[in-house]
Amino acid sequence: MNLRRIFWLLPIVLLPLPLWLNQYQQYVLNTALLYVPVGIGFNLVVGNLGLLAFSNVAYFGLGAYVSGVLMAQFDVPWWITLLPAALIGGAAGAIASIPALRGVRLFYLAIMTLAFGELMRWTYIRWEALTGGSMGMAVPVPNLLGWTLDTDLRRFYVFLALVVMLVAITDRLLRSRFGRAFMAIKDNEIAAAAMGIPTDRYIVLAFAWGGAVVGIGGAMFAISVGHLTPVSFDLTELLRQFAIIMVGGLGSLTGTIIGAVIVTVAPQVFISFPGFDELVFGLLIILVILFLPRGLASLLARAHPVFVERYYRG
Amino acid sequence: MLTLLPQLLISGISTGMLYALIALSMTVVYRATTVVNFGHGDMVAAGAYAVFVFGLGFGLPFLVALALAIVLLFAVGFATQRLLLQPIVGGPHLSLAMMALAIGYTLRGVLRLEWGNETINPQRPYLQDAYMFGNVVITTDDVVICGIVLLLLVVLFLLFQATPLGKVIQATFQSQRGAALVGINVPLFHAFMWGGGTALGAIGGVMLSMIAPLTPDLGQWTLVQGFAAMTLGGFGSLGGAVVGGILLGIIQKLLGFYLNTVFIEITGYLVPIVVLLLRPQGLFGRRAAVRV
Amino acid sequence: MADPPLLSVRNIEVRFGGLVAVAGVSFELRAGEICALIGPNGAGKTTLFNAVSGNVVPDAGSIRFRGEEIAGLTPHEISALGGRRTFQNGGLFPELTALENVLVGLHVQVGSGFLGLLFGSSSARAEVAATERARELLWLMGIGHLAEQKAGELSGGQQRMVEIVRALATNPLLLLLDEPAVGLSPTARQQLAVVIRNLARTRNVGILLIEHAIELVMSVADRVIVLNEGRKVADAPPEEVRADRAVLEAYLGHA
Ligand SMILES: Nc1ncnc2c1ncn2[C@@H]1O[C@H](COP(=O)(O)OP(=O)(O)OP(=O)(O)O)[C@@H](O)[C@H]1O
Ligand SMILES: [Mg+2]
DSSP assignments along A267-304, one per residue: GGGSPP-TTHHHHHHHHHHHHHHHH-TT-HHHHHHHH-
pLDDT at residue number A3: 65
As a whole number, mean pLDDT of residues A198-227 equals 97
Q: Do B108 and A116 touch (CB under 8 A)?
A: no
Beta bridge partners of C85: C176
CATH code: domain C90-171 is 3.40.50.300
Residues from chain B contacting residue C56 (CB–CB below 8 Å): 292
| For range C144-173, the mean pLDDT | 93
pLDDT tens digits, A94-106: 999 999 998 888 8
Cβ separation A187–C95 shorter than 8 A: yes
Average pLDDT over residues A4-29: 89
pLDDT band at A222 (very low <50, low <70, confident <90, very high): very high
CB of C8 closer than 6 angstroms to any ligand 1 atom: no
Shortest CA gap A189–chain C (Å): 9
| Positive/negative CA dihedral, C74, C77, C83, C87 | positive
Q: How far is CA C235 from the centre of its chain?
A: 19
Write the residue with the smallest CA distance to atom 19 of ligand 1: C42
pLDDT at C243: 79
For residue C251, the ligand closest to its alpha carbon is 1
CA B21 – CA B23 distance, rounded (Å): 6
Per DSSP, helices labelled H in chain A are 10-14, 23-43, 56-74, 78-96, 98-101, 106-126, 128-131, 152-175, 177-187, 189-194, 199-225, 235-248, 253-265, 276-291, 296-303
Q: Is the model's pLDDT at C135 over the cut of 60?
A: yes
Structure confidence at residue C2 (pLDDT): 63
Determine, for residues C93 and A176 on separate chains, whether the beta-carbon distance falls below 8 Å: no
Task: Tell me: pLDDT of C106 over 60.
Answer: yes
Residue A5 has pLDDT above 60, yes or no: yes
List average pLDDT for each run of 10 residues in chain B, which is 292 residues long: 87 95 94 90 95 90 94 97 94 92 96 88 85 89 94 91 82 81 86 95 93 90 95 91 96 95 93 89 66 42
Q: In this complex, do A177 and C110 lie within 8 Å of one another by their Cβ atoms?
A: yes
Q: Is the pLDDT of residue C118 over 80?
A: no
User: Which pLDDT belongs to residue C119?
Assistant: 58
| Fold category of B2-278 in CATH | ABC transporter involved in vitamin B12 uptake, BtuC (1.10.3470)
User: Do A130 and A73 form a contact (C-beta atoms < 8 A)?
Assistant: yes
pLDDT of residue C116: 64
Residue nearest to atom 2 of ligand 1 (CA): B291
Summarize pLDDT for A134-144 with one digit per residue, the tens.
Answer: 999 999 999 88
Question: Helix B93-115 crosses helix A106-126 at what angle (to 10 degrees)?
Answer: 40
Q: Say which range, A24-38, A187-201, B53-67, B116-130, has the weakest mean pLDDT.
A: B116-130
Amino acid identity of residue A264, one-letter, is T
Contacts of A242 in chain B (CB under 8 A): 98, 101-102
Question: What are the C-alpha distances in Å from A85 to residues A88, A171, A227?
Answer: 5, 22, 17
With beta carbons less than 8 A apart as the criterion, state whether B120 and B214 touch. Answer: yes
Q: Which of residues 133-192 of A touch C (CB under 8 A)?
A: 169, 172-173, 176-178, 180-181, 183-184, 186-188, 190-192
Protein residue with least CA distance to atom 22, ligand 1: C46
Is the Cβ–Cβ distance between C241 and C226 less than 8 Å? Answer: yes
The set of residues, in sequence order, having a beta carbon less than 8 Å from that of A287 and lying 6+ positions away, is none
Mean pLDDT computed over every residue of chain A: 94
Among chain B residues, the shortest Cα distance to A108 is held by B276
ipTM of this model?
0.92
pLDDT digits (tens, 9 = 90+) for C210-240: 998 888 999 999 999 999 899 998 899 998 8
Average pLDDT over residues A282-300: 96
C-alpha A212 – ligand 1 centre gap (Å): 42
Mutate which of C12, C15, C16 to test ligand 1's pocket (most atoms within 8 Å of Cβ)? Answer: C16
Integer Cα distance of B292 and B273 in angstroms: 27
> Would you tell me which residues 209-248 of chain C have a C-beta closer than 8 angstroms to some C-beta of chain A?
none
Rounded Cα distance between A224 and A26, Å, is 11
In angstroms, the CA B177 to CA B170 distance is 13
Higher pLDDT, residue A23 or C242? A23
**Domain positions in chain B:** 2-278
**What pLDDT does residue B292 have?**
41
Q: Which of C81, C104, C164, C177 should be substituted to probe chain A, the one whose Cβ sees the most A Cβ atoms within 10 Å? A: C104
Higher-scoring residue by pLDDT: A103, A154:
A154
- CB of C42 within 6 A of ligand 1: the answer is yes
pLDDT attached to residue C252: 57
Task: Give me the pLDDT at residue C254, please.
Answer: 47
- Dist CA C54 CA C161 (whole Å): 23
The whole-angstrom separation of Cα C110 and Cα C127 is: 6
Give the number of the ligand closest to the Cα of residue C43.
1
Position C120 pLDDT exceeds 70:
no
Q: How far is CA A66 from CA A58, A139, A155, C64, C145, in A?
A: 12, 11, 19, 51, 54
Secondary structure (H, E, C), chain C: CCCCCCEEEEEEEEEECCEEEEEEEEEEECCCCEEEEECCCCCCHHHHHHHHHCCCCCCEEEEEECCEECCCCCHHHHHHHCEEECCCCCCCCCCCEHHHHHHHHCHHHCCCCHHHHHHCCCCHHHHHHHHHHHHHHHHHCCCHHHCCCEHHHCCHHHHHHHHHHHHHCCCCCEEEEECCCCCCCHHHHHHHHHHHHHHHHHHCCEEEEECCCHHHHHHHCCEEEEEECCEEEEEECHHHHHHCHHHHHHHHCCC
- What's the fold here for domain A3-307? ABC transporter involved in vitamin B12 uptake, BtuC (1.10.3470)
Touching chains, A (3+ CB pairs < 8 A): B, C
- Find the mean pLDDT for residues A154-166: 96
Whether C45 is in the pocket of ligand 1, judged by its Cβ within 6 Å, is: yes
Q: What is the pLDDT of residue C112?
A: 62
Model pLDDT, residue B291: 43
Strand C60-65's sheet: what is its strand order?
A: C19-29, C7-16, C60-65, C68-69
Residues of A in contact with B273 (CB under 8 A): 99, 112, 115-116, 119
Q: B-contacting residues of C 70-89, CB under 8 Å?
A: 87
Q: What is the pLDDT of residue A107?
A: 87
| Residue A36: band (very low, low, confident or very high) from pLDDT cuts 50, 70, 90 | very high
Please report the sign of the dihedral spanned by the C-alpha atoms of residue B32, residue B33, residue B36, residue B39.
negative
Which segments of chain C belong to CATH 3.40.50.300? 1-82+172-255, 90-171
Closest CA to B156 of B16, B31, B45, B281: B31
Section A145-166 average pLDDT: 92
What CATH homologous superfamily does C1-82+172-255 map to? P-loop containing nucleotide triphosphate hydrolases (3.40.50.300)
Q: Can you tell me the mean pLDDT for A39-44?
A: 98
Q: Which atom of ligand 1 is nearest to the CA of C40?
A: 25
Ligand 1 contact via C57 beta carbon (within 6 Å): no
Mapped onto helix, strand or coil, the DSSP state of residue B183 is coil
